[in-house]
Chains A and B, each alone.
Chain A
Amino acid sequence: MMDLNLLHISVWANFAAFFLITFLPKNRVKLPPAVALLFSGAGAAASAVLLVRRFGGEMLEWKFPWLTWNSAQVNLGYYLDDLSLVMLTSVCLISFLIQLYSVWYMNEDADKKRFFATITFFTWAMISFVVSVNLFASYLFWELIGLASYLLIGFWHERPAPRRAAIKAFVMTRFGDLGFLAAVILLISHVHNLDIPFLNSQAAALLGPGELLLVIVLLFFGVMGKSAQFPLHTWLPDAMEGPTPVSALIHSATMVAAGVYLLVRLFPMIEVSQGGMHYILFIGAFTSVLAACLALTECDMKRILAYSTVSQLGFMVMAVGSGTWHGGMFHLITHAFFKSMLFLLSGYFIFVAHHSNSIFDMAALPLKEKSKWMLVLLWIGALALSGLFPFSGFMSKESIFGYLLETRQYPVYGIALFISFLTAYYTTRMAFIVSKNGSGPGAGDKRDSPLRGQSLELRVALNLPVTVLGILTVAGVWVFLPWHKEFFHIHTDWHAREWMNLGVTSALVLAGIGTSFFYFGRKSFSEKGWPALIPGLDFLISKKFFMDDFWNAVMEKIVKGFSRLSVWSDAHIINAAVNHVGLACVRSGRAVAELQAGEVQRYILVALLVIVSIIFYLLTR
């Protein structure tokens, strides 16, 4: 009972904050952040207590019927096992930290009320999605997550770019959601019960292999949209137009994590279909390589991070597709921590660089003197993302590599190594360039801190979240290792194979870092590095592999074309026909009216004709 109440608190705290903030008076600008922090802090605390109390214990299920019709029933409720518990705690914790950071970031913004209302709503939707007991309910919250991200990406709607990005994000994920909804419908009509434990234990047996494959392909369509997998990945880099805390939230624990989490959640069902697994594996690997390539020459810090998110998500999807949901989930969690930290840092650096996203503008700043701690954290995040020992990214990637080697999936292992190399390269490229420590404005003047004039609370709101995330990135996995190694299937008894794996992966990561140092770490550095040397690659990257053009063409040519066609046919076929019928009535009326024109001769003529025809009729009868 106690645990259920804790769960209620951690789920509904953010909603309560949303509700309260919505009805706060507009002129109390200090209140919205305070309410948001208070409630989401309570939620995070409750979830942490839950984690301590329940992790490794039995699962908790609580539900009530939400909608019933003749053949099926949809339940709303919670399903809390170790998987959702881990995810719940991460989401609560990370979104609390990000909300804290937002206090600093949104300090200047006039519309704090709208921002904090939406961000707490976003967190609530994600948490509800995570603990949802029923796949249909998952779909409900999945859509609400989409709505919240739309509102947040378009938060600065006075500018045109965020408006476009928001619509793109919503429409593209909606397009993917069609697949999800179709899968839900297919499942309901065959299985009648969408409770996740039931699906995981029974659905595969109740569905034929063909139907199961169809369900998985359709479900994965939804995942492609939310988790930005090829070919529906193009919305995510554009989503950078939102405020940076929003990017941090979208890229770490909410939104994009939802897709991978869904795959992991339904893994026992998906696993049965060999074809479905190969499909997932293939799309994940392809996305991962493609997005990593896109990040190679990018100069916008947020976009580098965005492409790396797409790439890492592809990596997780690939891991799930290859059979290790533990690895995929582990990487999802560690990635959530260091990626949110990197985004929060990027927000700081962009602020320092006078709202420029370009890493070369940051390179011109004397960051080593002014923001040493932030640079240290940036390097921690970058190395964790690269997967270097002893950072958290290393552990999760290692677990995936280990599994691939153990199950002898050598081609996938090769691809994963390649991705790892690219990741190490582009991440450290960013870090090397940002920490160039140029002699830009303000160099040498010790008192001219970037945060000059900001109050203590604001400094805490900035520094505390990134520091906590940084500590967790370095030490988190090791401190909690004895505790979670069972859950994530982490080997601690190492043999020759594990050591060999460690050697190979570390060598590739170091190679990536080394290459990056060669091009960007030294005094004179190039802008693009080796990708510029490969003919065609630079061009393809600059065109983003034509995916944006492809979707623009779909929108402009196909959708708008159909729309023009319908409008044309409405005007020129249907309405024309209607108007002609109307006109024909009027004309025939006029024609008949001629008979009544008052000319006696005509009346007599008509009368005669009638008489003649009657006589004729009578005679011929």
Chain B
Amino acid sequence: MILSTILFAPIVAMIWVMCIHSPRLIRTISLAGSLVSFALSAYLVLRFDYQHPGFQWTEQLFELPGWGIQFLLSVDGLSIPLLLLTSIIITSGILVSGRLEVRVKEYFALLLFLVSGAYGVLLCMDMFFFFLFYEVAVIPMFLLVNVWGSGNKEYAANKLTLYLLAGSALVFFGFLLLYFQSGLYTFDLGAMLELAGFTHETERWMFLLFFLGFGTLAATWPFHTWSPDGYASAPTAASMLHAAVLKTLGGYGILRVAVPLFPQGARDWQWLMLTLGAINIVYAACCVIAQKDLKYIVGYSCVSHMGLVMLGIGTLSETGVNGAMFQMFSHGVMVALLFACVGYIYDTKHTRNIEELGGLLGEMPRASIFFILAGLTALGLPGLSGFVAEFLVIYSAFTVSPLAGTLALLGLVLSAIYVLRVFKRAFWGVPLAGKAAMAAQGHESLDMNWKMVIPCVLLCLFLVVLGVYPKMFIDYVGPTSTELLKNLSF
């Protein structure tokens, strides 16, 4: 019951929201729906026996026997942290959308639909529904960008949607190939893992197919350009959710499907994962240095951080995969916080160009401190969660490829340069608008009110707690990553 409640709570909330008119009630119900999932994910996190990895909760709702399709939900140590992440992000995403006035009902309904897609991908262990829910997550994004977006939004929405559809089409093609090639005629991933055996040749090409498909979803270079464009145009909560959760689903897919099913293929293409991961880190970080739009800055830095996930998976070592999982979680929280702050700044100042901003620390200290904390996570400051993830990934990258490790290290300096540049331009200095403009607006404080502060504090807490005591997380996912990689060691 728990799993299906997590999945259906947002859907029920969405249907409810579509039937009512009061914006106030709409917000409350959306929040309630997301809180239900949040509470249940937290329950799963606490009750999960991490020493014995594997699927500890399983629910089968129905099946179509003739087709080999079943609606099977189950969770293990890989999906539980991501479930928690998703529920945190949607809760804070709903909370920070408090100032939205346009088409409130449709906006919240689409957000809830989007998040139910994300939950579905994480929960379903049946490849048919896995794909179905991914599409469920992609389509609302198109509408969210097109209707509530800003800037060159039509182009961005088309690009993002087509890219993600192309990526998931590759994945679906792979699923069909598995269905027929394995001779099992089932979409059940668990059965596939147990029974299927492929030749080395098949594994090689199947892995590449899945890697490219999921890699596109994770914005791997050179298939990354949808991501900064899309996030720059998307409304705040949509970019939070997409950058934090849907992007990590790419990494999740590789860990869930590609690596356990095709271990020999993974070995064959290890060089590709390492190379693309390292390129992602350095290339995207170089791109950030020249950006002026805050959302593009966050978007490219997000691409750069996803490179660490790819690099960590590419090491095919337990430490690397632990690091990648840590990075997925920590990056998700961090990027959501960054987008929340940027969205707030944009709503207040009506510009995101860092050259037109300045002195935000004086003008809106709370929003600035949240942004600075997330920025420090992005540059890998010890004591915040990003550092541990980066360290684990870079450490294991060094053990397999010193070159990739060195490039990832360079990323640390580059990220320091771009993060501090933003601090310097936008947050430090004298407010450009000046006190006079503030007074003209009727002495209104520009800073976040408590409704905005709560979600940001929630996100900050995760960054700090995981950074100060990372052992918690690593102990938690360690056995799971061993389990995921067990096919590799023969």
Residue ranges of A at the interface with B (Cβ–Cβ < 8 Å): 65-71, 139-141, 143-144, 147, 150, 154, 157-158, 160, 163-164, 166-167, 170-171, 174-175, 177-178, 181-182, 185-186, 188-189, 559-560, 562-567, 570, 574-575, 578, 582
Contacts and interface: CB of A to CB of B under 8 A. Distances in A.
Interface in B173-192: none
Given A178-B410, A559-B289, A582-B162, A167 B421 contact: yes
A69 B322 contact: yes
Interface of B: 158-159, 162-163, 222, 224-225, 283-284, 286-291, 318-319, 322, 359, 361, 376, 381-383, 387-388, 391-392, 394-395, 398-399, 405-406, 409-410, 412-414, 416-417, 420-421, 424, 428-430, 469-471, 474-475, 478
B347 to A, nearest CB: 24
A163 B428 contact: yes
A171 B413 contact: yes
B225 A188 contact: no
Contacts of A582: 158-159, 162
A182 B288 CA distance: 24
A157 B395 contact: no
Give the 3 A-B CB pairs with smallest separation, nearest first.
A157-B428, A140-B382, A563-B289
A68 B409 contact: no
A564 B289 CA distance: 9
B361 A157 contact: yes
A72 to B, nearest CB: 9
A171 B394 contact: no
Nearest to A139: B382
Given A144-B383, A170-B416, A181 B409 contact: yes
Contacts of A186: 398
Given A67-B474, A143-B382, A163 B394 contact: no
Given A144-B383, A167-B421, A178 B409 contact: yes
A70 B319 contact: yes
A140 B416 CA distance: 16
B395 A167 contact: no
A574 to B, nearest CB: 5
A570 B429 contact: no
Contacts of A158: 359, 428-430
A188 B410 CA distance: 20
Contacts of B414: 559
Main secondary structure of the interface of A (DSSP, over half): helix
B283 to A, nearest CB: 5
A175 B382 contact: no
B381 A175 contact: no
A171 B423 CA distance: 13
B251 to A, nearest CB: 19
B398 A189 contact: yes
A485 B381 CA distance: 40
Contacts of B391: 181
A143 B380 CA distance: 10
B290 A563 contact: yes
A167 B424 contact: yes
B286 A562 contact: yes
Contacts of A562: 286
A189 B399 contact: yes
A174 B413 contact: yes
A565 B159 CA distance: 23
Contacts of B474: 67-69
A81 B413 CA distance: 34
A143 B381 contact: yes
Contacts of B428: 154, 157-158, 163
A170 B419 CA distance: 11
B381 A147 contact: yes
A67 B471 contact: yes
A174 B286 contact: no
17 contacts: A66-B469, A67-B474, A69-B474, A70-B478, A141-B382, A157-B428, A163-B429, A164-B424, A170-B416, A178-B413, A181-B394, A181-B409, A189-B395, A559-B286, A566-B286, A567-B287, A578-B159
Nearest to B155: A579
Nearest to A555: B417
A570 B225 contact: yes
A477 B286 CA distance: 52
A331 B298 CA distance: 46
Contacts of B288: 563
Interface centre among A69, A70, A174 (most CB of B within 10 A): A69
Given A65-B471, A69-B478, A574 B394 contact: no
Given A69-B322, A582-B162, A565 B405 contact: no
Contacts of B405: 185
Given A171-B417, A578-B225, 11 more contacts: A68-B471, A140-B383, A154-B428, A175-B413, A178-B413, A559-B289, A563-B290, A565-B286, A566-B284, A566-B286, A566-B290
Nearest to B431: A158
Given A69-B478, A70-B319, A564 B413 contact: no
A483 to B, nearest CB: 36
